[in-house]
Amino acid sequence: MGADWLAYGYGALVTSGGIIGYAKAGSTASLGMGILFGAIIAYGAYQTSHNANNYLVGLGASAVLAGVMGNRFYHSGKFMPAGLVAIVSAAMVMRYVVRSFAVKQ
């Protein structure tokens, strides 16, 4: 099995979003959470790259981000960054769910 480049890219997107949030608004919470979740997602990508059955870390982090950022988007109505991260995270959740069915068969 090759590297899970899509999941690594997702982790990079989340990390860079946290860095941009800090640079633009001075939000240390964005920086901390972006780096934390980006690292968790990268670890999940590392796991799925080596064994497709190890998708739970990536699935969990994606589900949490989809829920939190979806809620933020719902209450603020601002697509950037909450709506974008919610959509990408939901897509990753769906990807992991589909992959989980493919792996078990």
Question: Using CA atoms, how far apart are residues 105 and 20, in angstroms rounded to an integer?
Answer: 41
pTM: 0.90
For a pLDDT cut of 90, what percent of the chain falls above it? Answer: 81
Return the structure tokens found at 46.
Answer: 């590392």
pLDDT of the residue at 100: 85
Contact 52, 11 (CB under 8 A): no
